[in-house]
Amino acid sequence: MKENINKEFVARFNSEGVFYASSGRINLIGEHTDYNGGFVFPGAIDKCIMAEIKPNGSDKVRVYSIDIDSYVEFGLKEEDAPTAQWARYIFGVCREIIKRGGKVGGFDTVFAGNVPLGAGLSSSAALESCFAFALNDLFNDNKIDKFELAKIGQSTEHNYCGVNCGIMDQFASIFGKKNCLMRLDCRSMEFKYFPFEPKGYKLVLVDSVVKHELVDSPYNKRRESCERVSKFLGVETLRDANMDMLMSVKGKISDEDFKRAKFVIGEKQRVLDVSFALQDNDYATVGVKMYETHDGLSKDYEVSCVELDYLNDIAKECGVTGSRIMGGGFGGCTINLVKDELYDKFITTAKEKFASKYGHEPKVYEVVISDGAHKCE
């Protein structure tokens, strides 16, 4: 990828720049917990966006995307926003740095990536984080702290790309560390690294390639349920509730709200359980918790779909250690922790069975937990 980018950079700009990269991410466990003040457990992966960048002394950004085969130029004022969606991620990062009092001058850049687009691995956060990290290094003597870099990416999504996302993806892409997952507390924003070196296992995403667009926003309805139960219990968010508290109001809240809250409260505990299990290298427990999360998402939170439940069933049948929906649900991927010796059989079986039932094969992405944003030597 690096040679490719460099060849293109030299051909277009007749000089050479500095290389930066930032990764996509997975989330091992902790789903629908962010807006409930709970925990998530992401890590950066070995699939990244890489850019070669050189300040050009002007007030113009000149950018070529290898993967989209498209060239765009834009200025750095608010009214200079490019129309191409992919370029707005970079423009947004520039603007968000400038809005915070940081410096960004014109630069030339060529970039490419291998994070699959729209597969739930957050290629957009990889793109934002790559440029946020690079522009901090090139124009700001690295004075912007890393959390602010993540927020710059998040604000880019909000203000320039129309995506109202949380902070997890950009956080993971910026802070990611090789062989480590991060338990992020979405209430205090404190985080801790946990070793994740599953020797003898592989981590693999199986992408159903389906996305069920539902008429009324199920996401908002889930949030409303959680807020209703919190209010009923007199707590700020479900982070502050436990199972006993929930059991004491059973029958006084709707069955649906009860199930939603049951999932969220259970999920908080599962993330903690997984972090303790990782400290003991106990991947069997990690796997059990992953299956529990899937069950909860499917039966209590009701954000699964037949395709994802089928992938989960296949994983179980094949003896896969852990498997669950990754992401908001209603389509997308499952994340699977698979013993090396079962890997080939699982992948073949999943492809065959899924294709014969749904008419297309799932996509498969093996991932390794890797470093997040960095300058490439």
Catalytic residue ranges: 169
Which residues have C-beta within 8 Å of that of residue 352, sequence separation ≥ 6?
none
Which range touches ligand ADP (CB under 6 A), out of 84-92, 230-238, 246-254, 300-308?
A: 84-92
Give, as ranges, the residues between 125 and 184 that touch ligand ADP (CB under 6 A).
127
Our measurement of the distance from residue 129's CA atom to the centroid of its chain's CA atoms, rounded to an integer in Å, reads 12
Do residues 55 and 138 touch, judged by C-beta distance below 8 A? yes
Q: How many residues bind ligand ADP (CB under 6 A)?
A: 18
Choose, by CB under 6 A, the member of 27, 33, 109, 124 that binds ligand ADP: 124
Q: Which is nearer to ligand ADP, 124 or 304 (CB)?
A: 124
85 binds, among ligand ADP, Mg ion, none (CB under 5 to 8 A by kind): ligand ADP
- Are 120 and 23 in contact, with CB atoms under 8 Å apart? no
| SS3 state at 46 | strand
Neighbours of 146 (CB within 10 A): 17
Q: Binding of ligand ADP at residue 113 (CB under 6 A)?
A: yes
Chosen residue from 86, 160, 175, 194 binding ligand ADP by CB under 6 A: 86
The two structure tokens encoding residue 57: 């002394």
Site for ligand ADP in 356-375 (CB under 6 A): none
- What are the contacts of 3-12 at 24+ separation with CB within 8 A? 4/66, 4/112, 5/50, 5/51, 5/52, 5/66, 5/110, 5/111, 5/112, 6/52, 8/64, 8/66, 8/110, 9/52, 9/54, 9/108, 9/109, 9/110, 12/64, 12/71, 12/108, 12/110
d(CA 341, CA 245): 44
Cα–Cα distance for residue pair 54/15, rounded to 1 Å = 9
Residues that bind Mg ion (CB under 5 A): 122, 124
* 304 lies in the site for ligand ADP, by CB under 6 A: no
For 183, the token pair is 């338990």
Establish if 2 lies at the interface with ligand ADP (CB under 6 A): no
Shortest distance, CB of residue 47 to ligand ADP, whole angstroms?
10
Least separation in angstroms between CB 194 and ligand ADP: 24
Span near ligand ADP by CB under 6 A; candidates 113-121, 206-214, 245-253, 290-298: 113-121
Q: What's the closest the beta carbon of residue 263 comes to ligand ADP, in angstroms?
A: 23
Our finding on whether 117 is near ligand ADP (CB under 6 A) is yes
Which of 68, 235 has the CB closer to ligand ADP? 68
CB-nearer residue toward ligand ADP: 122 or 312 = 122
Using the structure block, give the residue that is written with the tokens 């924003």: 189
Q: How far is the CB of 124 from Mg ion (least distance, A)?
A: 3
248 touches ligand ADP by CB under 6 A: no
Least Å distance between CB 65 and Mg ion?
A: 16
Shortest distance in whole angstroms from residue 328 CB to Mg ion: 12
- Quick one: CA torsion of 248, 254, 259, 262, rounded to 10 degrees? -30
Applying CB under 6 A, does 78 fall inside the site for ligand ADP? no
CB of 169 to ligand ADP, least distance (A): 7
Selection from 136, 95, 98, 128 nearest residue 111 by Cα: 128
210 binds ligand ADP (CB under 6 A): no
Decide whether 1 or 10 has the Cβ nearer to ligand ADP: 1
User: What is the residue whose two structure tokens read 């629908």?
Assistant: 32
Q: Closer to ligand ADP by CB, 27 or 122: give it.
A: 122
Sites for ligand ADP among residues 29-68 (CB under 6 A)? 49, 65, 67-68
DSSP 8-state secondary structure symbol assigned to residue 362: P
Copy the structure tokens of residue 335: 């994340």
Chain residues that interact with ligand ADP, rule: CB under 6 A: 49, 65, 67-68, 85-86, 89, 112-113, 117-124, 127
